[in-house]
């Protein structure tokens, strides 16, 4: 993971940045203008927040014409996710489903 | 492919089923049955076979888990790599016959221990914030 976790923590400590990141994660690429319209803060403020997110590797900027499109990079979150807890719950659930499938199967 | 080093950790889930190993084996290795309890897939029980497990795309994640079969011992052992969101682990199924059916052991190995140790505390504190992000990242159902 190339990005230092400090940068990740700091960038997501701010609620406005978390909201921007979540919006990009859910809705795909968006322009600064669009993000500004939805966020309730000024365009320069949104641009500054996007810069911090970009520094942390959480968003990527792509220029097309005069517009810049930002996309979320959820992979950058990998250091923060507790994979072992996630997969423990995941497999417990899958084992229960496996049991249901076995009940339904022909002997 | 990375060989799990001693510094890695595993998730182990075990369960007893009142069904014979042959039947459990079918559920673990027939594509249409796998889909019913795990995910959509193009699995084939052949060593070296590359396959995908697919779930609904979320955010920027296309929902694809990239896998390769490492070992197939019919009725006994099945092992494949599990690559998703930049983390590659190995999933190994071990079936053991019992008096009443089958003991099934799933071990997912290769989790980086250092990372886990370093971030465990931090993750705990941040869990509240990441409740919704985790859904995006890991695709919880």
Per-residue pLDDT at B55: 82
pLDDT at A8 over 80: no
Tell me: pLDDT of A11 over 50: yes
Determine the pLDDT at residue B61: 60
Q: Of the ranges A66-70, B43-47, B127-131, which is most confident?
A: B43-47
Distance, CA of A17 to CA of A10 (rounded, Å): 10
Per-residue confidence (pLDDT) for residue B6, from 0 to 100? 53
Confidence of residue B123 (pLDDT cuts 50, 70, 90): very low
Containing domain of residue B84, as a range?
10-110
* Residue where the block lists tokens 């003991």: B103
Interface contact flag, A97 B36, Cβ < 8 Å = yes
pLDDT tens per residue across span B49-91: 999 999 877 555 677 899 999 999 999 999 999 987 667 889 9
Scan residues 18-77 of B and list those with Cβ closer than 8 Å to A: 19, 23-24, 26-28, 33, 36-38, 58-61
User: Could you read off the pLDDT of A17-70 as tens digits, one per residue?
Assistant: 888 988 887 788 899 999 998 888 899 999 999 999 999 888 999 988 888 899
Task: Tell whether B82 and B98 lie within a shared domain.
Answer: yes
pLDDT value of position B52: 97
A11 or B80, greater pLDDT: B80
How sure is the predictor about B118, in pLDDT bands with cuts at 50, 70 and 90? very low
Distance CA B86, CA B50 (A): 17
Are B90 and B59 part of one and the same domain? yes
Whether B5 is in a domain gets the answer no
What CATH number did the domain enclosing B16 receive? 3.30.530.20
| Range name among A24-28, A79-83, B12-16 with the lowest pLDDT average | A79-83
Write out pLDDT tens, residues B2-11: 554 457 788 8
When CB atoms are compared, the residue of B23, B26, B136 closest to A25 is B136
Tell me how long chain B is.
Answer: 141
Beta bridge partners of B15: B104
**Nearest Cβ partner of A18 from B15, B85, B129?**
B129
**Per-residue pLDDT at B67:** 97
Interface check for B13 against chain A (CB to CB < 8 A): the answer is yes
B82 and chain A in contact, CB less than 8 A: no
Give the start-to-end residue ranges of the domains of chain A. 5-81
Residues 6+ apart with CB under 8 A from A25: A72, A74, B58, B59, B60, B133, B136
Number of domains in chain B: 2
- Taking CA–CA distances from B15, the nearest residue in chain A reads A95
CATH node for A5-81 = 1.10.10.10
Instruction: List the beta bridge partners of residue B102.
Output: B17, B97
């Amino acid at each position: 993971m190339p990005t230092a976790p400090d940068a990740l923590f700091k960038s997501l400590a701010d609620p406005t940045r978390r909201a921007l990141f979540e919006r990009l994660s859910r809705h795909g690429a968006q322009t600064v203008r669009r993000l500004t319209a939805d966020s309730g803060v000024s365009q320069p403020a949104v641009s500054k927040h996007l810069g911090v997110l970009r520094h942390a590797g959480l968003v990527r900027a792509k220029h097309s014409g005069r517009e810049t499109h930002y996309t979320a990079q959820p992979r950058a979150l990998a250091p923060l996710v507790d994979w072992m807890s996630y997969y423990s719950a995941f497999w417990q659930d899958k084992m229960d489903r496996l049991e249901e499938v076995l009940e339904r199967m022909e002997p | 492919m990375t060989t799990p080093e001693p510094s890695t950790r595993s998730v182990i889930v075990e369960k007893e089923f009142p069904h014979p190993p042959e039947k459990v084996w079918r559920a673990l290795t027939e594509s249409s049955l796998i889909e019913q309890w795990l995910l959509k897939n193009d699995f084939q029980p052949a060593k070296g076979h590359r396959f995908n497990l697919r779930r609904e795309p979320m955010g920027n994640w296309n929902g694809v888990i990239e896998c390769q079969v490492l070992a197939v011992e019919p009725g006994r052992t099945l092992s494949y790599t599990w690559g998703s969101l930049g983390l590659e682990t190995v999933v190994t199924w071990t079936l053991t016959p019992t008096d009443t059916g089958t003991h099934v052991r799933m071990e997912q190995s290769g989790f980086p221990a250092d990372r886990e140790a370093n971030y465990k505390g931090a993750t705990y504190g941040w869990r509240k914030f990441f409740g919704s992000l985790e859904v995006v990242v890991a695709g919880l159902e």
